[in-house]
Structure 1
Amino acid sequence: MQTQTNESRRNFMKMAAMAGGGFVLGFNWLESEAAAVSMAVPAQALTFNSYLSISPQGIITILSPNPEVGQGIKTAFPIIVAEELDADWTKVVVEQAPLDTKKFERQVAGGSGSIPHSWKRLRVAGATARQMLVEAAAKRWNVPATTCTTDKGFVLHQASNRKVSYGELAAEAAQIPVPTDVKLKDSKDFKLIGSTVKNVDNPPILTGKPLFGLDFYREGMLFGMLQRPAFGYKAKAITNAATVKKMPGILDVMLVNNGVAVVGKSTWQVQKAKSALQVEWEKTDTLENSADHNRILSELLDSSSAMVRRQDGDVKTAFANAAKVVKAEYQCPFLPHSPMEPMNFFAHVRSGANGVESAELVGPTQTPELARNETAKLLGIAPDKVTVELTRMGGGFGRRLKADYVVEAVQVSKLMNAPVKLIWTREDDMTGGSYRPAVRYRFEAALDAQNNLIGYKLRGVGINAGNPTREDNFPAGSVENLLIDSVEHKSPITTGAWRAPITNFLAFAEQSFLDEVAQAAGKDPVQFRLELLDRAKQKPTGAIKYDIDRMRGVIELAAEKAGWGKKKDVAQGFSVYFSHRSYVAQVGEVVVQKGKPVLQKVYAAADCGVVINQSGARQQVTGCIVDGIGHAMYGQLTFKDGATEQKNFGEYRLIRMNEIPNVEVHFVKNDIEPTGLGEPALPPAGAAIANAIFKATGKRLRNQPFVEEDALKRVS
C-alpha cells in the first residue's frame, strides 16, 4: 500500500531536537497524510500539529488529542503508530493533549469515531519515521536502504549482521529529507495491531494516581455545589441564606441559572450546607408525570401529523392484500447515564481592570471545544482566551457531550472571582441530568399466502427524541412496500445522546418484532433474516445504506459459534444490528431455574474492520452487552410533578455482578479500515435476551424494563 503526499498540501516539516539530539516527528490531524517534522528546537517547544517523538534513549512519545472516556483510545493510538514504526512497545508512552483547535481536528469522544478518523494519519506518521530511520542507518553503513529491515526499535542489516537502535539514529534521521511516498504495512505483517495489549492507564488507575476529574486539585481552589429545581421550576428565593452562610467553611450562597449555588472550603462542608438550604421554587412550565408520558406516547401513535421518513412501494395495497398481518408495540422509559464519576469541572475565571481576561478549564468532557466555546460566549471573550485541559473520564455514555456542568463551574468562578471546582453529587447527577428519551414504537408487517414479507410499517413517537427511527437500517431495502414515520412531543425534561443514541432501544424493538414476524411466517429467526438480506441483494428496494455481506457475515458467525438450533438444554434468542459503521450479531442463551428465566451466556460476532487491540476491543463489546442487558432488564427513570422519583442507586436498579452472563466475543477478520466499536454491540443486546426469554417462557417482552413484565415472573 503506497501513500502519496501532495506537495501543496503536505504538512511535513523537519526539525532536529538539539536538546539531547532527539528526533521529533509531527503529523497533521487535519489531513489524511501525517506531517513529519524535524527541526533544531527542543521537542517540548514544537508548535506544529500532534507529534511523535523519539528520544536518544529510544523512547517514543505520542500526544493523544482525543478525550479518554474508557474506550481505550490512549492505548489504541500509540499501537497504530508503533506498528508502522516497528517500535519496541515497552518504550512507547502517550500523553494526553489539551484542547488545541489549531493543531488538532475532532477532539471528541463520541459517535465511535476516533479510530476511523485517525487510522491513516497515525499509520503514515509511524511509517514516515521508520523510513527516515532506515535511510539514516543505510547512509551510516553505506548500504542500500532496501537491504535494511526494522524490528522492535532497531534497524537491521542482516547481510553484515549489524543493527542500530532508533535512539542512536535519531539525530542522523533528523537530517534525512522527509519522504513524500511511504509504504504502509500489509495487514498480514502486523505485529502489534490485532494483538492483546494492556491499557496504558492501568498502572496509575491501579495505584490510585490522579487521573480523573474528581482527582484534580489546585491549591487555593474553592468547592461548589448546586441545588437544582425539578423540571418546570426555577429558584425564586433562598429563605435561609444568612443562616447557611454562617455554617463552617461556607463562603457564599447565590442564585445561579434556575438553581442555587453553595461555595465553601471543602466538599463535605458544602454538601452539608446544600442539604440545609431552604429554597422557594417558582413554577415555569408544565409538570409532567410518567403517567402523562405513557398517555402522550400512546396518543401520538394515532397522530395524523406524522413526518414520513421513508416510503417505498404501495404500502396501503400490500396490507389490503395481505394474507396475514402482524402488529406489535414496544415502549422504553427515560434513562439517566449513570456514569460512576458524577459531573464535575474546575474553572478559574481571571479578571483584570477591563473585566474578564481569560479562563482556565480542567476536567472530564467528551467535547472540549464545546466547553471552551460555551465558556467564551458566556464570558464575552475570544475562544483563544480559554484553555481546556482534559482529564480521564469515569464514564460518559453521551452525558459529557454537553457542557452545562462546565458552564456552571465558570459562572460560579466568575461570581466568586476565584478558582472553583464544581461537583455534582450522585443525586444531582440522576435528578438534574440529560436523559435518554422515552419512546414508543408501533410495528406492522404484511405476509402473503406463501409467508413472504410484502409490507412493513414502523411509527416511532418520542418525548424530546427528534427522529426516533433509523429509516435506512435493515430491513429497509429488503421489503418492497415500506413506510417509516415519526412524531415528537416537546417537554421541559432535558434529553440527549445516550450510548448508541436511539438505536439503544430501537434495535431491541426492531429485532424483537422481526422474531415475531418470523414466528408468524413459520420460519427460523436466523434464516428469516438471511432471506431478507438475499432479497435486498438480488432485488433491492430503494436505498440500501448497510453492507449486506458484512451483516450476513456476523449473522453466520454468531449462529455458528453459538451452535444455533443445535442445543436442547437452553433457549436461544437472536439479534443483529448495524450502527456506527459496524455490524454485531448476538445469541442469548436462557435457562429456567427455580421457575424463572436466567440469562447464562451471550455469543457476540462483530465486524468492526481491523481490530487494533484485542483486549480493548473485547472489553468494549462485553461492556456494551452488559450495559445493554442491564438497562433493558432493570433501568427506569420515572417522574412525578417534574421531579425524578429515583434519586440514587438505592432506587435506580443497575445490573449486579451475579447477573452478568458469560460473554463470548468473536471478530470477523478482514482488511477493512477500522469502524466504530464503543457503541455498536449495545443495540442488539436487548433483543437477543428478550427473544431467548420468549423461547424459554412463551411470553413476549415488549416494554422495558423487563423486570416489570410477566415473562420474568415465575414460569408455571
Structure 2
Amino acid sequence: MERTLIDPQDALPGTLQAGLPAAPDGASQPSPADIERPARRRFLQAAAAAGLTIGFHWTGPGRRAEAAEAAKPTFTPNAFLRVAPDGTVTVISKHVEMGQGAYTGIATIVAEELDADWSKIRVESAPADAARYNNLAFGPMQGTGGSTAMANSWMQLREAGATARAMLVAAAADTWKVPAAQLSVERGVVRHAASGRQAGFGELAAKAAAMPAPKQVALKDPKDFRLIGTRLPRVDVPPKTDGTAQFTFDVVFPGMRIALLQRPPRFGAKVKSFDAKAARAVPGVRAVVQVERGVAVVADTFWAAKTGRDALKIEWDDSKAEKRSSAAIMNEYRRLADAGKGLPARTQGDAAGTLRAAAAGRRVSAAYEFPYLAHAPMEPLDAVVKLDAHGCEIWCGDQFQTIDQGNAARVAGLDPKQVRIHTLYAGGSFGRRANTVSDYVVEAVSIAKALGADGRPVKLQWTREDDIHGGMYRPMYFHKLEAALGADGMPTAWRHVIVGQSIMAGTVMADMVIKNGIDATSVEGAANLPYAIPNLSVEAIATQTGVPVLWWRVVGSSHTAYAVEAFVDELAHAAGQDPYAFRRKLLAQQPRFLAALDLAAQRAGWGRPMPAGKGRGIAVTEAFGTVVAQVAEVAVDDSGRIRVERVVCAVDCGIAINPDVIAAQMEGGIGFGLGAALYGAITLKDGVVEQSNFDGYQVLRMADMPRVEVHIVPSQQKPSGVGEPAVAPIGPAVANAVFAATGKRTRVLPFVNTGAA
C-alpha cells in the first residue's frame, strides 16, 4: 500500500502501552479475572485552574502495591496529564478509543508541547466528568463523535502540555539557580548546556508540583514540531496485540451474571404476555425479567442465557408497530419528492425559473435511492452494570458519557453524579454507541434494577443478530435532482430535493440542529454545495416512520455526497466534458477542493486510457472540515460483476498529527463506504428486518479491498476530522468509474440490487 506523507520521519524508539483502565505508574495490570470491584476514584489537587485527575483504579491482588505507588509524589498540572517519579507521562483522554486512533493523536499533541519521551507516554481514559472533559464542539457535554476528537482538543491539549513543560522547567531553574531561558527540553529531559546539568521529568516531578502554574504559555511554531507530523507508533497497538487491552467483552467479575434481552420483532411493539417456564428450566438460568424494551434472561453464562432466551414464549402487542415494507416506504418517498413540497435548506437565485426556461435538450434530471444501513461494529453492543443502594457503576466502550450518565440515572432513580462510567476500548462504533436514548446502557441498568439492585454485576450482551435487528439505522433516503446547462455546458440551475427521516427529531439535540424545520444533518453535503452554480435550490422533506434511525459514519454526507457527485458526473457527460476538468471549472473559487482534486487526479494518472471493461471515476467532498478527493479504478466483467482495483485518495485535514493514522482512517473509511455501496442494505418485510447476520448484511470482505494510495495535502491549518470523511466520496467515485467502463449509471444502492454488479 502506497502512502505519501508530510515530512516522513522514522518512528522514535520504544514500546508504548495503553491499558484501560491503567494501573498506577509501576504497578502491574490485573487480568480481567482478578478484577474484584472498582473501589474509589482518586482526584488530586494542584495549583492549575483546570483541575487535576486520574482515572478510577481496579482493586484486587495488586492493590497494596498500587496504594504504595500512589503515595509517591506525582506531578499533575492539569486535567490532561500527570508525570510519575519514574518519568512516565500519563495522558488522560476525554475521547474513547474505538479504533480511530484518538489515543495516539491526543498523546501526540500533549507530548509535542511537553517535549516528552514518546517511549514513556501512556494513555488512560478520563472519568465521566463533563465539567473537565467536555467536548468543546458539543458544549457542556462529554462525548466522542463528528470526527471532532483532534479538532476540539487541539489547542486545549497543546496548552496542557506547554503548561506542564513550563512548570518542569521552572522546577529545574529553581533547583539549579539559573534562568529558565537558559534551559532546553528534549525527550523528557531538562538540560542546562552551560553547566552540563540535566534532569529527567521524573526527578523534577515533586518540585514541579509545587511550582505555580503560568497564566499564559508560549506554544511551539509548527516548524519546530518533532512529534506532530511523524509516523509515531499507535499507543493502542501493543495492548490490542498482546491481549491486555480491555473491551467490555473482556470484563469479568466474581459472581457476574450474563443477560440477553429479547426485543420485539417489529419496531414499536410491546410485550403483551410471556411464558418463561421453559427458559427458567435451562441449567444456569437465574432469572427472567421484563423491562421496557423486552424480556431479559439472566444466567451464569452466555450460552445458558441464549438457550433460555430461545426458549421464551412471548406474545407481542404490535398495534402501534411499524408494519410497512422498506419498498412501500421508498414508494412513499418518491411520491413526496414528486409533490415538491420541501422546505428550503438553501436558496440562491431562481432555480425553478431557470429550469423552466431551459430548452429540453439542456435539462438533466436523475433520482437516487439509498437504503437503511446498519452500523455493524465488530464488537456488538455490551455493558456491565453494578447497581446498589449507593449508586451505579457502568463499564463499556462509552461514546456519550454525559448523556449515558443522565439516562442511566433516570432509569435507576439516582442523581447523575451517582453514576460512574468507566470507559473501555470499543470495538468499533461508526456512530452506534453514541445515541441520545442510550439504548444499550439503559437496557443494562433496567435489568440490574429489575434483579433487585443488589450490587451483583450484570453484563448485557448483544449478539450479532441483535445488532442487525436492533434498529438505530442510517435512514433510508430518496434524492431527486434537476439541472439546466448553459451554452458553454456549465450548469446554470440546480434543484435538489431530499426526502428522508430526520435523525435529530424528537431527541435532546433537536433544538440545536433543527432550524426552520430543517435537520442540518439531512442536508449536509448538499446545502453547502461548493460548486459555483448561480441558481440553486436545495429542499428537504422530513418523513416519519417507526424505524429507529441514527447518525451513521459521515452522517448526511453518506447519501448526499453520492447524489451530488454522481449527478455532477452526469452533467459533465451531458455537456461533453471531462468530469475532472468540469469539476475544476466549478471549483475555481474553492482552493482546498481544487488542491485535493488535483492531487488525486495527478497521482491516479487521470486521462490515461483504460482497457476495455475498465473505468476510472472521480469525486470530491467535504465533511467535518476535511476535504477528500478520490479516484477509483474498476473492472466490470461480462456478468456485470464489479471489481474495485485501485483507489487514490487525497486528503486535506489541516496539520497532519500522525500521517499513519490519517492514512489508516482513509483506508478504513474507503473499505467501510465501499462495502455499503456495493452490498449494504437493511430491508423490511411487513415491518420485520429481513437480515440477521453477515450472511445477509454483507460487509466488505478482505478479498474485495482495493489497493489504496493515500496522499496528504500539506497544510498549516488546525487539524480537522479524519475518522469519517473518506466514506463520503468512495461510493460516487466507484459509480462514476462503473459508468466510464460500461455506460450504465447506478442510481439505486447498493450496487448488487441494480443489475450493475
2:259 match: secondary structure: strand
The 8 Å contact of residues 24 and 53 in structure 1, kept in 2 or not, is answered as no
Corresponding position: 1:233 with 2:269: yes
Instruction: Report the residue type matching 2:150 in the other structure.
Output: I
Instruction: Report the residue type matching 1:399 in the other structure.
Output: R
Corresponding position: 1:645 with 2:690: yes
The 8 Å contact of residues 578 and 584 in structure 1, kept in 2 or not, is answered as yes
2:595 match: secondary structure: helix
Pick from 332, 341, 346 the counterpart of residue 310 of structure 1: 346
Question: Following superposition of structure 1 onto structure 2, how do residues 333-372 of structure 1 map, counting pairs within 5 Å?
Answer: 333-351=371-389, 357-372=390-405
Q: Give distance in 2, aligned partners of 1:57 and 1:194.
A: 27
TM-score (norm 1): 0.89
1:179 CA displacement = 2.5
Question: Following superposition of structure 1 onto structure 2, how do residues 624-635 of structure 1 map, counting pairs within 5 Å?
Answer: 624-635=669-680
Pick from 610, 617, 627 the counterpart of residue 573 of structure 1: 617
1:609 CA displacement = 0.6
Corresponding position: 1:327 with 2:381: no
Q: Give distance in 2, aligned partners of 1:100 and 1:261.
A: 31
1:626 CA displacement = 0.6
The 8 Å contact of residues 28 and 50 in structure 1, kept in 2 or not, is answered as no
Pick from 499, 510, 514 the counterpart of residue 568 of structure 2: 514
Corresponding position: 1:84 with 2:113: yes
The 8 Å contact of residues 50 and 65 in structure 1, kept in 2 or not, is answered as no
1:702 CA displacement = 0.9
- Name the residue aligned to 2:85: 56
2:226 match: secondary structure: coil
1:473 CA displacement = 4.6
Pick from 675, 687, 711 the counterpart of residue 756 of structure 2: 711
The 8 Å contact of residues 50 and 64 in structure 1, kept in 2 or not, is answered as no
Task: Kindly provide the CA deviation profile for residues 610-638 of structure 1, in whole angstroms up to 9, marking residues without a partner as x.
Answer: 11112211111110011001110011111
Pick from 190, 215, 224 the counterpart of residue 189 of structure 1: 224
1:496 CA displacement = 0.6
Question: Following superposition of structure 1 onto structure 2, how do residues 390-429 of structure 1 map, counting pairs within 5 Å?
Answer: 390-402=423-435, 403-417=438-452, 418-429=456-467
- Name the residue aligned to 2:538: 484
Q: Give distance in 2, aligned partners of 1:517 and 1:553.
A: 22
Corresponding position: 1:437 with 2:475: yes
1:489 CA displacement = 2.0
1:640 CA displacement = 1.0
C-alpha change, 1:92 and 1:465, in structure 2 (3 Å) is: closer
1:689 match: secondary structure: helix
C-alpha change, 1:297 and 1:340, in structure 2 (3 Å) is: same
Corresponding position: 1:702 with 2:740: no
Instruction: Report the residue type matching 2:494 in the other structure.
Output: Y
- Name the residue aligned to 2:633: 589
Q: Give distance in 1, aligned partners of 2:124 and 2:724.
A: 25
- Name the residue aligned to 2:644: 599
Q: Give distance in 1, aligned partners of 2:216 and 2:404.
A: 39
1:639 CA displacement = 0.6
Instruction: Report the residue type matching 1:489 in the other structure.
Output: T
- Name the residue aligned to 1:377: 410
Corresponding position: 1:387 with 2:428: no
The 8 Å contact of residues 24 and 51 in structure 1, kept in 2 or not, is answered as no
Corresponding position: 1:678 with 2:684: no
1:317 CA displacement = 2.2
Pick from 691, 695, 703 the counterpart of residue 658 of structure 1: 703
Q: Give distance in 1, aligned partners of 2:540 and 2:198.
A: 66
- Name the residue aligned to 1:34: none
Structure 2 gaps of 5+ residues are 1-23, 27-43, 53-69, 136-141, 505-518
1:44 CA displacement = 9.0
1:710 match: secondary structure: coil
Aligned residues: 665
Q: Give distance in 2, aligned partners of 1:29 and 1:456.
A: 50
- Name the residue aligned to 2:150: 115
Q: Give distance in 2, aligned partners of 1:104 and 1:139.
A: 32
- Name the residue aligned to 2:593: 551
Q: Give distance in 1, aligned partners of 2:486 and 2:197.
A: 75
Task: Kindly provide the CA deviation profile for residues 546-590 of structure 1, in whole angstroms up to 9, marking residues without a partner as x.
Answer: xx2211111111111112113444521000001111110100012
1:130 CA displacement = 1.9
Q: Give distance in 2, aligned partners of 1:83 and 1:146.
A: 19
Task: Kindly provide the CA deviation profile for residues 505-525 of structure 1, in whole angstroms up to 9, marking residues without a partner as x.
Answer: 211111000000011111211
- Name the residue aligned to 1:130: 165
The 8 Å contact of residues 193 and 612 in structure 1, kept in 2 or not, is answered as yes
- Of the structure 1 ranges 556-565 and 51-60, higher mean CA displacement relative to structure 2 is found in 51-60
- Name the residue aligned to 1:35: none
Following superposition, which runs of at least 4 residues in structure 1 exceed 6 angstroms of deviation? 23-31, 43-48
2:345 match: secondary structure: strand
Task: Kindly provide the CA deviation profile for residues 278-327 of structure 1, in whole angstroms up to 9, marking residues without a partner as x.
Answer: 11112222401122122112111112432121111112321122240000
C-alpha change, 1:483 and 1:476, in structure 2 (3 Å) is: farther
Report the aligned-residue RMSD.
Answer: 2.4
2:267 match: secondary structure: coil
The 8 Å contact of residues 289 and 451 in structure 2, kept in 1 or not, is answered as no
- Name the residue aligned to 1:4: none
Corresponding position: 1:198 with 2:233: yes
The 8 Å contact of residues 27 and 51 in structure 1, kept in 2 or not, is answered as no
Task: Kindly provide the CA deviation profile for residues 445-468 of structure 1, in whole angstroms up to 9, marking residues without a partner as x.
Answer: 101222121100000011455643
Q: Give distance in 1, aligned partners of 2:123 and 2:482.
A: 52
C-alpha change, 1:30 and 1:301, in structure 2 (3 Å) is: farther
1:157 CA displacement = 3.0
- Name the residue aligned to 2:549: 495
- Of the structure 1 ranges 96-105 and 327-336, higher mean CA displacement relative to structure 2 is found in 96-105
C-alpha change, 1:668 and 1:580, in structure 2 (3 Å) is: same
C-alpha change, 1:327 and 1:210, in structure 2 (3 Å) is: same
Instruction: Report the residue type matching 2:478 in the other structure.
Output: R
Q: Give distance in 2, aligned partners of 1:400 and 1:586.
A: 29
1:592 CA displacement = 4.0
The 8 Å contact of residues 210 and 216 in structure 1, kept in 2 or not, is answered as no
1:182 match: secondary structure: coil
C-alpha change, 1:348 and 1:26, in structure 2 (3 Å) is: farther
Q: Give distance in 1, aligned partners of 2:205 and 2:75.
A: 16
Q: Give distance in 1, aligned partners of 2:556 and 2:693.
A: 24
Task: Kindly provide the CA deviation profile for residues 197-250 of structure 1, in whole angstroms up to 9, marking residues without a partner as x.
Answer: 222121221122251111111111211111111224222111x31232122111
Structure 1 gaps of 5+ residues are 1-16, 32-40, 352-356, 538-547
C-alpha change, 1:487 and 1:473, in structure 2 (3 Å) is: closer
Q: Give distance in 1, aligned partners of 2:468 and 2:77.
A: 42
C-alpha change, 1:711 and 1:613, in structure 2 (3 Å) is: same
The 8 Å contact of residues 73 and 206 in structure 2, kept in 1 or not, is answered as no
- Of the structure 1 ranges 692-701 and 175-184, higher mean CA displacement relative to structure 2 is found in 175-184
- Name the residue aligned to 1:526: 580
Q: Give distance in 1, aligned partners of 2:216 and 2:414.
A: 43
Q: Give distance in 2, aligned partners of 1:44 and 1:247.
A: 54
Q: Give distance in 1, aligned partners of 2:177 and 2:407.
A: 58
1:400 match: secondary structure: coil
